[in-house]
Amino acid sequence: MQELLLLLCKSLPPQLKGTDLASFRIIQETTQPSAPPEVPIKPKRRHTGWLTLRAIIISLLLSPLCSYWACDQGVDRIFSLMVPPVVLTVVVVMINKILLRYAPRLALTEQELILFYAMQSIICAMSSEWMDVVNPYIAGYAISASSDSNIRNHVLPFVRSWLFFKTDKRLKAFEAGGYPLSYTLAHLDIWWTPVLWWSAIVGLVCLAMLCINSLMRDEWTRRERLAFPIIQLPVAITAGGGDSPFWRNRYMWSGFLVMASIDTLNGFHFLYPSLPWVNVRFLGDMVQWFPSPPWNSVGWTPIGLFPFIAALGVFMPTDLLFSIIFFFFFRKAQQVAAAYFGNPQGVFGGGGLVPSPPYFSEQSWGAFIGLFVSTVWVARSYLKEVWREIVTGIKRPGELSSRMAFVILIVSLLLLAGIGLAIGLAFWLVIVYVCLFLVFSVAVTRLRAQLGAPTHEMAFMGPNQMFVDFVGTQAVPEPTISRMVTTFYFMNRIHRTDPMPSQLEAMKMGENSGMNQLFLFGALVLATVVGTLLGHLIHIYLGYRWGSGGAGGDTAGVVADLVNNRYPPNPVAIAAVMGGFLFVLLLDFIRFRVPSFPFHPAGYALAMNFGVDYYWFGLTVVLIIKMFVTRYYGLPGYEKLRYVAMGIILAEFLVETPWSVMAMVTRHATYSISINGRLGWNQ
């Protein structure tokens, strides 16, 4: 027997050469099947031009549905794994399973399904929160000018007419609503100029992001081998073209059936309150336990379960789960301490553009800059190789060359700076501003790829915060302040649907399936353009259909505040940024030397800003379950838990779909699985 094992060792493939006898015994023991093997997945069919084209056509045909869903039902796309792309992919997979059975030659391949999901995820991201803070303001300033002196005095005199309407003469119907789609189509001529210019601005930002992802993809996917927890469900449902063991796993279906039953019951309870229900959303609020100051300064501290977010936590590393929970309470402790020393606190103390204790936005900025620096440091040897490829022009088959990606990145930044000059902003200001935003986006992208954060909600955090803290507004002309705040508001409002993480996840899925990365790059560019234009057009239609109302008072208020109250550079806020930066580097320094160190710097970066508040309790529950399962049932138990988690996510997303459709059709609120309800953000 021993001689047979030695003979087998000699015949090992090249990647396992050098394996000794003892190691081979371990491999042999750990790979012995404990149950009959799963039905093998059919080999992938060779990709052809027609198959590629039809996958894109199908994606484009369904893109209006995805975009409309994202625009009209924002509650379904405010987390890392968005509902519309997943549900639409499941629908296509179900149709494909029928084709696999009865007309296999017409069935989509795994690559095509991944391409479909990748394009839908980008279309959904582009139609979401960026369009929420771009399109309504195109007409909003003009509509609200008569009732808002800040808009009249501090915004309209300085913004460009090719970005914003300056009078509401042609916007009465848009403001009032009540008009059909045909009316919208007949009046699109007045919208095309601002829509195309805004599409160019956000499109160039996304193109720069895509180039950075292209340059860093090899480092993050092949060398560091980041886990990409968010794509676990999309990968599972598209595997084998829909013919994979995932769809036959009993643990997945157990989680699916239980969760689908609960959500269906809760949905009908929402419509008919006399019916029973199982509360899996907000269970309570911890602030009621602390009625006296300064303890009541913890603010709104909901006890929320949200099963699909808790299920996403199953795929997250244990140290990140613990760190998010720990630093969430660390943030609450800072609020209590700040109130004790005479600084009032609310739901989120220390937020807002004007810094105040305990400077959470500044701490968050320092943390994300620290994560970016750590990312560059870890990849320093790889970046040297990339630079050599840029200089020498080395090309890799099936991939966008590093030189071309770098050139497109630089051209994108220069074009953005050129648009900034046309608006009236300094060339250097636009370059620094956009680069600072890209630093933040790179940190968020790698964080999500490595750790799978369920959300990355950084409310009102953006380059404007750093501008006020480090530069101040004393010597800045009013036109510069007005144009900067209004043009770049989409980089400052909120970052839950930042498209850069979705781009990298699409590249990872494409790489796993052997897809041509150069082709995928082009498909993602197409999805960016389509998603942006559809987002604009659907917002315009919704305005003509239901009435737009006014918009822009928030940004006009910011401009007025910065102009009327000239702020000098804030040394304390700068110190808070540096403190967050150094704290992240310190945590990384310790982690590299103490493998069992439980505090992850990403947990600090996420928890210092609002967003974790919704689901910290659900992550606490899943942390306890995950530790119990791995402690007593090992890897087999964890694998079963993963399938249960995917079943829960799939059930919640599919049950959410009819309630979303009902809300879109009837314009009445329905039940939602989301962290925000259809009747309010804290429903």
Instruction: Report the distance separating Cα 199 and Cα 458, nearest Å.
Output: 23
The answer to whether the predicted template modeling score (pTM) of the entire model surpasses 0.95 is no
**Cα gap 88→238, rounded to integer Å:** 12
560: enclosing H helix or E strand: helix 553-564
> Of 317, 281, 360, 289, whose CA–CA distance to 617 is shortest?
281
Query: Which residues are CB-contacts of 348 (< 8 A; sequence separation ≥ 6)?
Result: 299, 360, 459, 609, 610
What is the structure's pLDDT at 4?
36
Q: State residue 286's pLDDT score.
A: 93
Asked whether the beta carbons of 504 and 375 are under 8 A apart, the reply is no
**Residue 510 is which amino acid?**
G
| Structural contact between residues 659 and 672, judged by C-beta atoms closer than 8 angstroms | yes
| 385-415 b/e (C-beta count within 10 Å ≥ 16 → b) | ebeebbeeeeeeeebbbbbbbbebbeebbeb
DSSP-derived secondary structure for 443-489: HHHHHHHHH--S----TT-SHHHHHHHHT-STTS-HHHHHHHHHHTG
The pLDDT assigned to 645 comes to 98
Residue 439 CB partners (closer than 8 Å, separation 6+)? 368, 369, 372
Q: How far apart are CA 608 and CA 606, in angstroms?
A: 6
- Judged by DSSP in three states, 343 sits in coil
Tell me if 123 sits within 8 A of 134, measured CB to CB: no
Q: What is the pLDDT of residue 17?
A: 38
Instruction: Tell me phi and psi for residue 151, to 5 degrees.
Output: -65, -45
pLDDT of residue 443: 97
Locate 163 and state its tokens: 């970005």
Using CA atoms, how far residue 538 sits from 161, 188, 376, in Å, is 22, 11, 39
* CB burial string 128-162: b at 16+ within 10 A, e below: bbbbbbbbbbbbbbbbbbeebebbebbbbebbbee
Do β-strands 302-304 and 282-285 pair in parallel, antiparallel, or remain unpaired? antiparallel
Among 570, 561, 565, 556, which Cα is nearest to 485's? 556
Alpha helices in 39-103 (DSSP H): 49-72, 83-102
Give the residue extent of every domain in the chain. 119-666
Q: Is the dihedral of CA 494, 678, 327, 606 positive or negative?
A: negative
Instruction: Pick the closest to residue 522 from 63, 234, 210 (CA basis).
Output: 210
How confident is the model at residue 681, as a pLDDT? 63
Q: Which of 518, 501, 446 is nearest to 225 (CA)?
A: 446
Helix (H/G/I), strand (E/B), else coil: 282: strand
Alpha carbon distance 603, 558 (integer Å): 30
Query: Would you state the pLDDT for residue 458?
Result: 86
| Coarse DSSP helix, strand, coil percentages of the chain, rounded to the nearest 5 percent | 70, 0, 30
Q: If we measure between CA atoms, which residue out of 253, 231, 299, 206 comes closest to residue 89?
A: 231
Tell which phi-psi region holds residue 343, choosing left (phi > 0), alpha (psi between -120 and 50) or beta: beta
Distance from C-alpha of 243 to C-alpha of 110, rounded to nearest angstrom = 9
Euclidean distance between CA atoms 649 and 233, whole angstroms: 8
d(CA 61, CA 66): 10
Residues 430 and 486: beta-carbon distance below 8 Å: no
> Mean pLDDT, consecutive 10-residue segments, the chain of 683 residues?
40 37 33 36 44 88 98 95 98 96 94 96 97 95 94 96 95 94 96 98 98 97 95 96 94 98 97 96 92 90 95 94 96 93 79 80 95 96 96 89 97 98 97 97 96 89 92 94 96 93 97 92 97 98 91 92 93 96 96 90 92 94 96 96 98 98 95 90 63
Put residue 462 in one of left, alpha, beta given phi > 0 → left and psi -120 to 50 → alpha: beta
**What's the CA gap between 10 and 24, in Å, rounded?**
11
Q: Which two tokens stand for residue 638?
A: 């964890």
Q: Assess contact for 109 and 676: CB atoms under 8 A.
A: no
